[in-house]
Structure 1
Amino acid sequence: MTGIPSALPPDNAPALTENGPRRPLRWGILATGSIAHTFAEDLRLIPEDAELVAVGSRSADTAQRFADRHGIARAHGSWQDFADDPDMDVVYVATPHAAHQAAAALCLEAGKAVLCEKPLTLNLAQAQALVDIARKRNVFLMEAMWTYVNPAVLRMRELIADGAIGEVRSVHADFSITVPFDAAHRLHDPLQGGGALLDLGVYPVSFAHLLLGVPDAVSAWAHLNPRGVDDNTGILLGYDTGPVAVLSCSLGTQTAQRASVNGTLGRIEFARDFFHADGFVLHRQGHEPEEVRLPDSPGNGYTHEALEVARCLRAGATESPFVPLDGTLAVMATLDAVRESIGVRYPAE
């Protein structure tokens, strides 16, 4: 395992205060793409815990349009001005993968806590550099792997820890979507860290790590697009104690994005969208299948990670026990091994 506890700890940590009562965490968003808009919309759903106060972009006009749309007080037309804003507690980095390291490093060096979209960086070396900055400066850093704080996934882990399906022996997971080839599209562009693996495959790989830990062997095959990044990838993770993980990701087909966790006494199946599911089916030997449902996530599902950041910062923590930095580094090492196997390398490396 990667050290993530099986249940949420009680929220009894000290509050963020400003000369008195608890106040919302002050967020800034760096970048203005679609996921930044979605995250901004979800922050509005937790007003007692989050206040969106600033946005940053390389363009003043783009930042101002984003601020106008979401009612944000301050719009910064440069990353440096944004990082230097004194009235932010935490930054959500929403840039494309290839810019994660530079964006997150700038904010960490400015003393800002950072929630950075997945994958944390393009490769392990870049991720380690960010972790080193965060730990040296004693500043909070967390990869935005929302699956790890998803209530359905947390409930699954509790059941497995209680022995509901016995010892886990295999994990199967797939995340595939249809994105027709366009050389300029970020998912097909090596300059932007494109390919199925880093955008989609990071979820099945992270899911396998969550359940089985660091693999002892990594094998992979992929078809590469004309620009040299993967558009259809299969991954096999092996463990010396016997378990295996069979994983896939693709930009060429729309799938149900299923996952199954198979144990010696039963299995757990996610029928679709395992990475932000609202439930699953528990199959136990000698029992009828049991459907486990969790309350619907508010909005688009990003509130869980925002609340986890707030909980950690109120507790004075510099990383989350649910998305520990060493776990993120371990996943990045596996992704590096997959890319080495399939022959994908990015210009920025």
Structure 2
Amino acid sequence: MENIKWGIIGCGDVTEVKSGPAFNKVPHSSLVAVMRRDGAKAADYARRHGVPKWYDNADQLINDPDVNAIYIATPPLQHEAYTIQALAAGKPVYVEKPMTLDAASAVRMNEAAEKYGVKLSVAHYRRAQPMFLKIKELLADKAIGDVRFVSLQMLQPPASNLIAASATNWRVDPAISGGGLFHDLAPHQLDLMIYFFGPAQHAAGIAVNQAKVYPADDLVTGHILFENGIVFNGTWCFTVAAGDRLDLCEITGSTGKITFPVFGNSMTLHQDGIAVEFTFDPLPHVQQPMIDEVTKYFTGRGENPCSAEQALLSMRLMDCFTKK
């Protein structure tokens, strides 16, 4: 496959800036069709973004001979069915995070990719962003010595500006999202931990719905013992006061630490009482570096930047933290 001709299933708000335009901005890639169940909205998206075709039926997009790869950007409830359908049609899939509702569903998606022999990548796109590549480089160079433990706090008020806009707040309906806002934001954070530190040996957590303003849990805590001995502790609370909002990850090593917000553009290296800040330009389309890597993988020019097997690891962590 020399060039990727993408079709999007679910051209909603998340695709307006974060991902959609990037498909026409990386080499060997173009966006040729979009689908949304609301045909008027699909047509409007296609018109505004210069996309040649639009559909209100996923079957038609998947079976369009001009489409040779599928990006699935629906809510997680539909990820498994659309992924397996596209794979069965012989078309490689780039599926949004979280990969799906739970680990069992992720296993089925991975088995389908193996069964049909078709490529599958998951949109844990922070792996390809410059700031997180820099952090990974510092860790590999032992800039803070041997990593001892990681502390992560994600504290947000009920009206958080980190949550993508949508017509309905499906992110707090567990039947559609798999959980609550934890399931929307934590996949980024937990995948980075796996990207930095590898597989987990043990994980457990607590999830509760304290404020009861929606059906999903609004407070989650979790701890991980990685196979390499590194310990992680995380707290996610989505009902704090606006003034108490916090997005902070601290990686503490034997000779220093690295601190950064997962949803920000700067990180700090602390060594011997000296703090060095690294600032990165905001990306116009946050998924563009990852879409570039996925396109290289689909065209045989590179490796899979986030395989189903890797994404399954973070799905299992979320299950461990939130199971009742």
Q: Same fold (TM over 0.5)?
A: yes
Give the secondary-structure state (helix, strand or coil) at the position aligned to 1:112: coil
Of 180, 186, 189, which aligns to 2:170? 186
Change (3 A) 1:266 1:169: same
Give distance in 2, aligned partners of 1:78 and 1:258. 41
Give distance in 1, aligned partners of 2:43 and 2:60. 14
Of 184, 196, 201, which aligns to 1:199? 184
5+ residue gaps, structure 2, are 161-167
* 2:309 corresponding residue in structure 1: 326
* 1:263 corresponding residue in structure 2: 253
Cα deviation, residue 49, structure 1? 4.0
Give per-residue Cα distances to partners, 1:154-175, cap 9 Å, x unaligned.
1111111111111111112233
Q: Tell me the amino acid that sits aligned with residue 35 of structure 2.
A: G
Q: Tell me the amino acid that sits aligned with residue 170 of structure 2.
A: R
* 1:8 corresponding residue in structure 2: none
Q: For 1:204-243, what aligned pairs fall within 5 Å after superposition?
A: 204-224=189-209, 225=212, 228-239=215-226, 242-243=229-230
Give per-residue Cα distances to partners, 1:69-126, cap 9 Å, x unaligned.
2111111120100110111232211101111111222211112211111010111111
User: Higher mean Cα deviation, 74-83 or 48-57?
Assistant: 48-57
Change (3 A) 1:227 1:297: closer
* 1:10 corresponding residue in structure 2: none
Give the secondary-structure state (helix, strand or coil) at the position aligned to 2:16: helix
Q: Tell me the amino acid that sits aligned with residue 288 of structure 1.
A: I
Give distance in 1, aligned partners of 2:15 and 2:312. 24
User: Higher mean Cα deviation, 153-162 or 221-230?
Assistant: 221-230
Q: Tell me the amino acid that sits aligned with residue 335 of structure 1.
A: M
Q: For 1:1-349, what aligned pairs fall within 5 Å after superposition?
A: 17=2, 25-38=4-17, 39-44=19-24, 46=25, 48-179=27-158, 185-193=169-177, 194-224=179-209, 225=212, 228-239=215-226, 242-253=229-240, 255-270=245-260, 272=261, 274-275=262-263, 277-285=264-272, 288-294=274-280, 296-315=281-300, 320=304, 322-340=305-323, 343=324
* 1:3 corresponding residue in structure 2: none
Give per-residue Cα distances to partners, 1:251-282, cap 9 Å, x unaligned.
32453422121111111111x3x25x433111
Give the secondary-structure state (helix, strand or coil) at the position aligned to 1:237: strand
Cα deviation, residue 238, structure 1? 2.7
Change (3 A) 1:263 1:123: same
Change (3 A) 1:104 1:174: farther
Give per-residue Cα distances to partners, 1:34-62, cap 9 Å, x unaligned.
10222223334x15443211001223323
Q: Tell me the amino acid that sits aligned with residue 187 of structure 2.
A: V
Change (3 A) 1:299 1:43: farther
Give the aligned length: 310
Q: Tell me the amino acid that sits aligned with residue 165 of structure 1.
A: I
TM-score by length of 2: 0.87
Change (3 A) 1:189 1:237: same
Give distance in 2, aligned partners of 1:210 and 1:141. 18
Change (3 A) 1:258 1:102: same
Whether the 8 Å CA contact 2:80–2:109 is kept in 1: the answer is: yes
Give the secondary-structure state (helix, strand or coil) at the position aligned to 2:204: strand
Change (3 A) 1:231 1:50: same
Q: What CA RMSD, in Å, does the superposition of the two structures yield over aligned residues?
A: 2.3
TM-score by length of 1: 0.81
5+ residue gaps, structure 1, are 1-15, 18-22, 344-349
Whether the 8 Å CA contact 1:151–1:278 is kept in 2: the answer is: no
Cα deviation, residue 150, structure 1? 1.4
Give distance in 2, aligned partners of 1:337 and 1:308. 30
Give the secondary-structure state (helix, strand or coil) at the position aligned to 2:219: strand
Q: Tell me the amino acid that sits aligned with residue 123 of structure 1.
A: D
Q: Tell me the amino acid that sits aligned with residue 74 of structure 1.
A: K
Cα deviation, residue 297, structure 1? 4.7
Aligned structure 1 segments of 4 or more residues deviating by more than 6 angstroms: none
Q: Tell me the amino acid that sits aligned with residue 21 of structure 2.
A: E
Give distance in 1, aligned partners of 2:231 and 2:159. 31
Cα deviation, residue 144, structure 1? 0.4
